[in-house]
Amino acid sequence: MTADKPEIMPISRAEFNSLALFQKVSFESLAGYLLNCAIIKASPHDVLISPQAEKRRVLILIDGLLEVRMNGPEGFYLDDVSPGACVGEMSVFDNADPSAWVIAKKPSRLLEIEPSIALAMLNASHDLCLNLLHILSQRVRYSNKIVYADQHHIRCIEENAMVDSLTGLHNRRWLEEMYTREMQRSNSGNFLLVAFMIDIDHFKNINDNYGHLAGDQVLISVARALVQCLRPSDMPVRFGGEEFSVFLPGTTPENAAKVAERIRTAIEKNSISLQDGSIISVTVSVGYAERTDGDSVKSLLDKADQALYNAKNTGRNRTCFCLGTPPA
Protein backbone atom coordinates (compact mmCIF):
# COMPACT_ATOMS: atom_id res chain seq x y z
CA MET A 1 0.00 0.00 0.00
CA THR A 2 1.46 3.31 -1.03
CA ALA A 3 1.22 6.48 0.99
CA ASP A 4 -1.05 9.25 -0.26
CA LYS A 5 0.77 11.98 -2.12
CA PRO A 6 1.15 15.00 0.23
CA GLU A 7 -0.93 18.06 -0.62
CA ILE A 8 1.17 21.04 -1.75
CA MET A 9 0.15 24.67 -1.32
CA PRO A 10 0.34 26.67 -4.58
CA ILE A 11 1.84 29.65 -2.71
CA SER A 12 3.85 30.04 0.46
CA ARG A 13 2.69 31.87 3.56
CA ALA A 14 5.11 34.74 2.72
CA GLU A 15 3.66 35.07 -0.79
CA PHE A 16 0.13 34.92 0.63
CA ASN A 17 0.88 37.78 3.02
CA SER A 18 2.37 39.91 0.20
CA LEU A 19 -0.79 39.89 -1.90
CA ALA A 20 -3.09 42.92 -1.52
CA LEU A 21 -6.24 40.79 -1.59
CA PHE A 22 -5.03 38.77 1.42
CA GLN A 23 -3.73 41.59 3.64
CA LYS A 24 -4.63 40.89 7.33
CA VAL A 25 -6.37 37.66 6.27
CA SER A 26 -5.52 34.52 8.25
CA PHE A 27 -3.54 32.11 6.10
CA GLU A 28 -5.08 29.16 7.96
CA SER A 29 -8.64 30.35 7.27
CA LEU A 30 -8.10 30.01 3.51
CA ALA A 31 -5.51 27.24 3.36
CA GLY A 32 -8.08 24.59 2.46
CA TYR A 33 -9.39 26.68 -0.42
CA LEU A 34 -5.89 27.47 -1.68
CA LEU A 35 -5.22 23.76 -2.11
CA ASN A 36 -7.78 23.85 -4.94
CA CYS A 37 -6.08 26.77 -6.69
CA ALA A 38 -3.31 26.61 -9.29
CA ILE A 39 -0.25 28.55 -10.31
CA ILE A 40 -0.06 29.58 -13.97
CA LYS A 41 2.84 31.15 -15.83
CA ALA A 42 2.53 33.66 -18.64
CA SER A 43 4.98 34.91 -21.25
CA PRO A 44 4.97 38.47 -22.64
CA HIS A 45 1.97 39.12 -24.93
CA ASP A 46 -0.03 36.19 -23.55
CA VAL A 47 -3.72 37.17 -23.28
CA LEU A 48 -4.95 36.13 -19.83
CA ILE A 49 -8.41 37.67 -19.80
CA SER A 50 -10.57 38.88 -22.68
CA PRO A 51 -14.27 39.32 -23.52
CA GLN A 52 -14.02 36.31 -25.85
CA ALA A 53 -12.55 33.94 -23.25
CA GLU A 54 -15.00 31.24 -22.22
CA LYS A 55 -13.27 30.65 -18.88
CA ARG A 56 -13.90 33.12 -16.05
CA ARG A 57 -11.46 33.25 -13.17
CA VAL A 58 -9.78 35.47 -10.62
CA LEU A 59 -6.06 35.95 -11.22
CA ILE A 60 -3.70 37.36 -8.61
CA LEU A 61 -0.29 38.48 -9.86
CA ILE A 62 2.51 37.07 -7.69
CA ASP A 63 5.40 38.41 -9.76
CA GLY A 64 5.80 39.97 -13.21
CA LEU A 65 3.75 42.72 -14.85
CA LEU A 66 0.41 42.84 -16.69
CA GLU A 67 -1.39 45.55 -18.66
CA VAL A 68 -5.06 46.29 -19.24
CA ARG A 69 -6.32 47.44 -22.64
CA MET A 70 -9.67 48.24 -24.23
CA ASN A 71 -10.78 47.20 -27.71
CA GLY A 72 -8.27 44.39 -28.15
CA PRO A 73 -4.71 43.42 -27.23
CA GLU A 74 -3.38 46.34 -29.29
CA GLY A 75 -6.17 48.69 -28.27
CA PHE A 76 -6.38 51.66 -25.93
CA TYR A 77 -4.02 51.31 -22.93
CA LEU A 78 -5.70 51.72 -19.54
CA ASP A 79 -3.31 50.69 -16.79
CA ASP A 80 -0.57 48.36 -15.56
CA VAL A 81 -1.20 45.59 -13.02
CA SER A 82 1.61 45.20 -10.47
CA PRO A 83 2.43 42.23 -8.22
CA GLY A 84 -0.13 41.72 -5.46
CA ALA A 85 -3.09 43.01 -7.50
CA CYS A 86 -5.96 40.90 -8.83
CA VAL A 87 -7.86 40.88 -12.14
CA GLY A 88 -10.94 39.12 -13.44
CA GLU A 89 -12.96 39.30 -10.24
CA MET A 90 -15.72 41.50 -11.70
CA SER A 91 -16.64 38.98 -14.40
CA VAL A 92 -16.75 36.26 -11.74
CA PHE A 93 -19.04 38.17 -9.38
CA ASP A 94 -21.22 39.60 -12.17
CA ASN A 95 -21.27 36.30 -14.05
CA ALA A 96 -20.65 38.38 -17.18
CA ASP A 97 -18.00 38.59 -19.87
CA PRO A 98 -14.94 40.71 -19.03
CA SER A 99 -14.96 44.22 -20.50
CA ALA A 100 -11.22 44.52 -21.14
CA TRP A 101 -8.15 42.58 -22.18
CA VAL A 102 -5.46 41.65 -19.63
CA ILE A 103 -2.12 40.84 -21.24
CA ALA A 104 1.22 39.77 -19.79
CA LYS A 105 3.76 42.53 -20.20
CA LYS A 106 6.64 40.60 -18.64
CA PRO A 107 7.13 36.96 -17.70
CA SER A 108 4.57 36.54 -14.93
CA ARG A 109 3.40 34.05 -12.32
CA LEU A 110 -0.20 34.16 -11.15
CA LEU A 111 -2.49 32.44 -8.67
CA GLU A 112 -5.59 31.17 -10.48
CA ILE A 113 -8.83 30.93 -8.45
CA GLU A 114 -11.91 29.33 -9.96
CA PRO A 115 -15.24 31.22 -9.51
CA SER A 116 -16.75 28.77 -7.00
CA ILE A 117 -13.57 28.83 -4.89
CA ALA A 118 -13.43 32.64 -4.98
CA LEU A 119 -17.03 32.92 -3.73
CA ALA A 120 -16.38 30.33 -1.02
CA MET A 121 -13.31 32.30 0.15
CA LEU A 122 -15.41 35.45 0.49
CA ASN A 123 -17.98 33.58 2.58
CA ALA A 124 -15.18 32.31 4.82
CA SER A 125 -13.33 35.58 5.49
CA HIS A 126 -14.73 38.97 6.50
CA ASP A 127 -11.29 40.57 6.08
CA LEU A 128 -11.08 39.22 2.53
CA CYS A 129 -14.40 40.92 1.74
CA LEU A 130 -13.11 44.23 3.12
CA ASN A 131 -9.91 43.96 1.08
CA LEU A 132 -11.88 43.28 -2.08
CA LEU A 133 -14.17 46.26 -1.43
CA HIS A 134 -11.11 48.48 -0.96
CA ILE A 135 -9.58 47.24 -4.23
CA LEU A 136 -12.83 47.75 -6.15
CA SER A 137 -13.36 51.25 -4.71
CA GLN A 138 -9.86 52.23 -5.85
CA ARG A 139 -10.65 50.86 -9.28
CA VAL A 140 -13.88 52.88 -9.46
CA ARG A 141 -12.01 56.05 -8.47
CA TYR A 142 -9.44 55.43 -11.16
CA SER A 143 -12.16 54.76 -13.75
CA ASN A 144 -13.91 57.99 -12.77
CA LYS A 145 -10.67 59.91 -13.31
CA ILE A 146 -10.35 58.40 -16.78
CA VAL A 147 -13.96 59.28 -17.61
CA TYR A 148 -13.50 62.83 -16.32
CA ALA A 149 -10.29 63.26 -18.32
CA ASP A 150 -12.00 61.94 -21.47
CA GLN A 151 -14.99 64.22 -20.99
CA HIS A 152 -12.71 67.21 -20.45
CA HIS A 153 -10.78 66.30 -23.59
CA ILE A 154 -14.00 66.00 -25.59
CA ARG A 155 -15.25 69.35 -24.27
CA CYS A 156 -11.97 70.98 -25.27
CA ILE A 157 -12.21 69.51 -28.77
CA GLU A 158 -15.84 70.63 -29.11
CA GLU A 159 -15.05 74.11 -27.82
CA ASN A 160 -12.07 74.48 -30.16
CA ALA A 161 -14.27 73.39 -33.06
CA MET A 162 -16.60 76.31 -32.25
CA VAL A 163 -13.90 78.99 -32.05
CA ASP A 164 -12.42 80.91 -34.97
CA SER A 165 -8.69 80.20 -34.74
CA LEU A 166 -7.66 83.62 -36.10
CA THR A 167 -9.76 86.05 -34.05
CA GLY A 168 -10.63 83.93 -31.02
CA LEU A 169 -14.32 84.72 -31.51
CA HIS A 170 -16.90 81.99 -31.80
CA ASN A 171 -17.67 80.75 -35.30
CA ARG A 172 -20.74 79.88 -37.37
CA ARG A 173 -21.03 76.42 -35.79
CA TRP A 174 -21.37 78.01 -32.36
CA LEU A 175 -23.78 80.59 -33.79
CA GLU A 176 -26.16 77.91 -35.00
CA GLU A 177 -26.42 76.41 -31.53
CA MET A 178 -26.29 79.43 -29.23
CA TYR A 179 -28.21 81.92 -31.37
CA THR A 180 -30.99 79.35 -31.79
CA ARG A 181 -31.10 78.82 -28.02
CA GLU A 182 -31.21 82.57 -27.36
CA MET A 183 -33.88 83.10 -29.99
CA GLN A 184 -36.09 80.41 -28.43
CA ARG A 185 -35.62 81.97 -25.00
CA SER A 186 -36.44 85.45 -26.29
CA ASN A 187 -39.50 84.31 -28.24
CA SER A 188 -40.93 82.20 -25.42
CA GLY A 189 -40.49 84.92 -22.79
CA ASN A 190 -40.95 87.90 -25.12
CA PHE A 191 -37.51 89.15 -24.08
CA LEU A 192 -35.70 91.96 -25.87
CA LEU A 193 -33.08 90.90 -28.41
CA VAL A 194 -31.12 92.87 -30.99
CA ALA A 195 -28.85 91.47 -33.71
CA PHE A 196 -25.87 93.24 -35.32
CA MET A 197 -24.24 92.53 -38.66
CA ILE A 198 -20.85 94.25 -39.01
CA ASP A 199 -18.66 94.46 -42.11
CA ILE A 200 -15.16 95.92 -42.53
CA ASP A 201 -15.28 98.59 -45.21
CA HIS A 202 -13.11 98.07 -48.33
CA PHE A 203 -11.46 95.00 -46.83
CA LYS A 204 -10.52 93.66 -50.27
CA ASN A 205 -8.37 96.73 -50.83
CA ILE A 206 -6.42 95.94 -47.64
CA ASN A 207 -5.63 92.44 -48.86
CA ASP A 208 -4.76 93.71 -52.35
CA ASN A 209 -2.52 96.56 -51.16
CA TYR A 210 -0.88 95.07 -48.07
CA GLY A 211 -1.30 91.30 -48.40
CA HIS A 212 -3.33 88.67 -46.61
CA LEU A 213 -1.19 88.75 -43.46
CA ALA A 214 -2.12 92.40 -43.07
CA GLY A 215 -5.74 91.43 -43.62
CA ASP A 216 -5.43 88.91 -40.79
CA GLN A 217 -4.01 91.60 -38.48
CA VAL A 218 -6.97 93.83 -39.30
CA LEU A 219 -9.44 91.05 -38.52
CA ILE A 220 -7.74 90.39 -35.18
CA SER A 221 -7.73 94.10 -34.31
CA VAL A 222 -11.40 94.58 -35.22
CA ALA A 223 -12.42 91.49 -33.23
CA ARG A 224 -10.52 92.76 -30.18
CA ALA A 225 -12.14 96.21 -30.41
CA LEU A 226 -15.55 94.60 -30.87
CA VAL A 227 -15.23 92.54 -27.69
CA GLN A 228 -14.08 95.59 -25.71
CA CYS A 229 -17.27 97.43 -26.69
CA LEU A 230 -19.63 94.62 -25.63
CA ARG A 231 -20.92 93.16 -22.38
CA PRO A 232 -19.92 89.66 -21.23
CA SER A 233 -23.49 88.52 -21.97
CA ASP A 234 -23.34 89.64 -25.61
CA MET A 235 -22.55 87.06 -28.29
CA PRO A 236 -19.99 88.13 -30.92
CA VAL A 237 -19.27 85.76 -33.81
CA ARG A 238 -16.98 85.85 -36.79
CA PHE A 239 -19.70 85.31 -39.37
CA GLY A 240 -17.32 84.76 -42.25
CA GLY A 241 -14.59 86.63 -44.13
CA GLU A 242 -14.60 90.24 -42.93
CA GLU A 243 -18.13 90.02 -41.51
CA PHE A 244 -19.13 89.72 -37.84
CA SER A 245 -22.45 89.26 -36.07
CA VAL A 246 -23.58 89.90 -32.50
CA PHE A 247 -26.66 88.96 -30.50
CA LEU A 248 -27.38 91.42 -27.69
CA PRO A 249 -29.91 89.94 -25.23
CA GLY A 250 -32.05 92.30 -23.16
CA THR A 251 -31.15 95.32 -25.29
CA THR A 252 -33.54 97.98 -26.56
CA PRO A 253 -33.08 99.47 -30.05
CA GLU A 254 -32.16 102.77 -28.35
CA ASN A 255 -29.34 101.19 -26.39
CA ALA A 256 -28.32 99.13 -29.41
CA ALA A 257 -27.88 102.38 -31.35
CA LYS A 258 -25.41 103.57 -28.72
CA VAL A 259 -23.51 100.27 -28.75
CA ALA A 260 -23.36 100.26 -32.56
CA GLU A 261 -21.99 103.79 -32.61
CA ARG A 262 -19.48 102.93 -29.87
CA ILE A 263 -18.23 100.00 -31.97
CA ARG A 264 -18.00 102.10 -35.12
CA THR A 265 -16.12 104.90 -33.36
CA ALA A 266 -13.71 102.62 -31.52
CA ILE A 267 -12.68 100.85 -34.71
CA GLU A 268 -12.36 104.09 -36.68
CA LYS A 269 -10.00 105.53 -34.04
CA ASN A 270 -7.91 102.36 -33.78
CA SER A 271 -4.47 102.40 -35.41
CA ILE A 272 -3.24 99.04 -36.65
CA SER A 273 0.52 98.44 -36.89
CA LEU A 274 1.44 96.02 -39.67
CA GLN A 275 4.50 93.77 -39.69
CA ASP A 276 6.20 95.90 -42.35
CA GLY A 277 5.93 98.96 -40.08
CA SER A 278 2.96 100.50 -41.85
CA ILE A 279 0.15 101.93 -39.75
CA ILE A 280 -3.36 101.81 -41.13
CA SER A 281 -6.87 102.39 -39.88
CA VAL A 282 -10.14 100.86 -41.00
CA THR A 283 -13.82 101.55 -40.63
CA VAL A 284 -16.86 99.34 -40.32
CA SER A 285 -20.49 99.55 -41.30
CA VAL A 286 -23.06 98.26 -38.83
CA GLY A 287 -26.61 97.10 -39.44
CA TYR A 288 -28.88 96.12 -36.56
CA ALA A 289 -32.42 94.90 -36.05
CA GLU A 290 -34.80 94.12 -33.21
CA ARG A 291 -36.42 90.73 -32.68
CA THR A 292 -40.14 90.74 -33.31
CA ASP A 293 -42.75 88.02 -32.81
CA GLY A 294 -42.20 85.04 -35.05
CA ASP A 295 -38.57 85.85 -35.86
CA SER A 296 -36.10 83.02 -36.39
CA VAL A 297 -32.33 83.36 -36.21
CA LYS A 298 -32.23 83.61 -39.99
CA SER A 299 -34.99 86.21 -40.28
CA LEU A 300 -33.46 88.42 -37.58
CA LEU A 301 -29.99 88.22 -39.11
CA ASP A 302 -31.51 88.89 -42.54
CA LYS A 303 -33.06 92.10 -41.19
CA ALA A 304 -29.73 93.15 -39.68
CA ASP A 305 -28.00 92.27 -42.95
CA GLN A 306 -30.45 94.41 -44.88
CA ALA A 307 -29.67 97.29 -42.52
CA LEU A 308 -25.95 96.66 -43.12
CA TYR A 309 -26.55 96.77 -46.87
CA ASN A 310 -28.22 100.16 -46.45
CA ALA A 311 -25.33 101.44 -44.33
CA LYS A 312 -22.80 100.45 -46.98
CA ASN A 313 -24.90 101.89 -49.81
CA THR A 314 -25.25 105.23 -48.06
CA GLY A 315 -21.56 105.92 -47.59
CA ARG A 316 -20.13 103.22 -45.28
CA ASN A 317 -18.60 103.91 -41.85
CA ARG A 318 -22.06 104.31 -40.40
CA THR A 319 -24.79 102.46 -38.53
CA CYS A 320 -28.30 101.70 -39.74
CA PHE A 321 -31.35 100.28 -37.98
CA CYS A 322 -33.62 97.91 -39.91
CA LEU A 323 -34.32 99.69 -43.21
CA GLY A 324 -31.96 102.53 -42.44
CA THR A 325 -33.91 104.67 -40.01
CA PRO A 326 -32.19 104.74 -36.59
CA PRO A 327 -34.35 105.02 -33.50
CA ALA A 328 -34.85 108.43 -31.98
The residues carrying an active-site annotation are: 242
Residues 6+ apart with CB under 8 A from 103: 45, 46, 47, 48, 66, 67, 68, 69, 73
The beta strand positions in the chain, using DSSP E, are 38-42, 47-49, 58-63, 66-70, 76-81, 86-87, 101-104, 108-113, 193-200, 235-240, 243-249, 272-273, 279-280, 284-290, 319-321
Helix, strand or coil, per DSSP, at residue 191: coil
Q: What value, to the nearest 5°, has the Cα angle with vertex 224 and ends 194 and 209?
A: 110
Distance in angstroms (rounded) separating the CA atoms of residues 29 and 52 = 34
